[in-house]
Amino acid sequence: MQSNETNSKKINKLNLVLSVAIAFASWLYVVYSINPTISRTYTNIPVTVANSKTLAKNDLAVSKLDTEKISVTLVGRRSAINELKKSDIVATVNASNAGKGENSMAVQVSVPGAISVKSQSESSVSVTVEDLEVKKVSTYTTYKDGQSGEPVVKKQGSKEVEVQGAESLVKNVDSVKLELDADKVTDKAKEFSAVATPVDGSGHKIDYLTTDPDRVSVTAYKGETKTVKLKVKVTNTQDGSVSRTYSAPNTIVIKGRSKDIKNVTEITSKDMDISSVAETEDMDIDYDLPEGVSIANESRHVKLKVKVSTSASKTVNVPASSININNVASGHTAKANSGVNVVVTGNKDKIASITASSFVISADASGLGAGQHTVTAYLTNNSGLTAALESAQITITVQ
């Protein structure tokens, strides 16, 4: 009986050893055959700037990286590599201690813990730092790139957004774009939180800039666009010695619900007093818009162009030899005893080119015999400007 128990214990120990061996072999098989360690290269990983706010405290900002994307080779178990998303790979440069000008800075690559970095195409990049600039710009709401149509904004948290960054970049900012997903905008107004993206005049994003706020609340609904006539009402174009001319497009694109824009054929402006415009400039148009109608994005840059001309005066002498004496009696001759002065007023640039040849001065000698006579001179003005004789009375001699 004791012998049987001994044999049983030996068998159990043997089974235990075999189980452990089989388990270990299975683990080795899974690790090295089913889930081996592999490496994989990922390209076009964007290099981002970290700690730009710390840099801003020194009134500095990043304007450029000489290399904006790198390649990274990672190593790890196949299961971990296969589950990895490209967005999980983060490449950054720490700009907190950068100085004005060019800085050579290390590129730090971060990946999930089960994976490690085997190599990267760039270990460092050149980072250009400039003086910090801040300015406020207007916003506009649109759909994401590639989505057609245009949302209509009913209410918005911020009409202007503060943009901050390198001086050379900030000066190129035209506005801040607020993008919505067209699939989520319906006929009923809904509130969205849109990312504030600084863009140039063509709507292209400008990198390395921050905004305050970084998101804007927008309540919008789906709309349609329509091209209609535009009539701008302008008052006080003349002001003493200042003359103002103006121009604006004949049409404009509006947006709104179909029922709101259906019968709209013309948009007018409110009365625009331009008497305070002292220099040539483009003015925002103060539209008189019907309920539910707004200006479409493609017409948001429409302006009233006001050109200011400052009037000047100039005195031009027409010599006696150039004065025409008409209707001289037969057998006689006549000539003016002296020249006359013509006072010209108008645009100072045009007035500079005016000469005596721009005017014709004449007088009538009908019924006059030999001797000196005082007659009235007449001016024919070919200058295109305002002109008048300084004195209309001249002396002529008939012989």
Place of tokens 């003359």: 243
Contact 209, 241 (CB under 8 A): no
The residues pairing with 367 across neighbouring beta strands, listed in sequence order, are none
Q: Using one digit for the tens of pLDDT, what is the confidence trace for 217-262? A: 999 999 999 999 999 999 887 766 677 889 999 999 999 999 999 9
Q: Which two tokens stand for residue 113?
A: 């813990």
- CA-CA distance, 150 to 280, in Å (whole number)? 33
Predicted confidence (pLDDT) per residue in 161-211, tens digit:
999 999 999 999 999 999 999 999 999 999 999 999 999 999 999 999 999
3 pLDDT exceeds 60? no
Angle (CA) 191-203-186 rounded to 5° is 25
What is the spatial distance between Cα 7 and Cα 1, in angstroms, rounded to a whole number? 10
Report the pLDDT value the prediction gives residue 197, as an integer from 0 to 100.
Answer: 97
In this prediction, residue 279 has a pLDDT band, given cuts at 50, 70 and 90, of confident
Exposed e or buried b for every residue in 39-70, given b needs 16+ CB within 10 A? eeebeebebebeebeebbeeebbbbbbeeeeb
- The answer to whether 88 and 113 are in contact (CB under 8 A) is no
Query: For 291-297, what is the mean pLDDT?
Result: 96
What pLDDT sits at residue 276?
A: 85
At residue 9 the predicted structure's pLDDT band, cuts being 50, 70 and 90, is low
Judge whether residue 5 has pLDDT over 80. no
Return the bridge partners of 388, or none: 343
pLDDT at 321 over 70: yes
Q: Tell me the whole-structure pTM to 2 decimals.
A: 0.68
Instruction: Give the C-alpha separation, 204 to 194, whole Å.
Output: 17
Report the b/e string of 294-333 with b at 16+ CB within 10 A: bbbbebeebebebebbebbeeebebebeebebeebeeeee
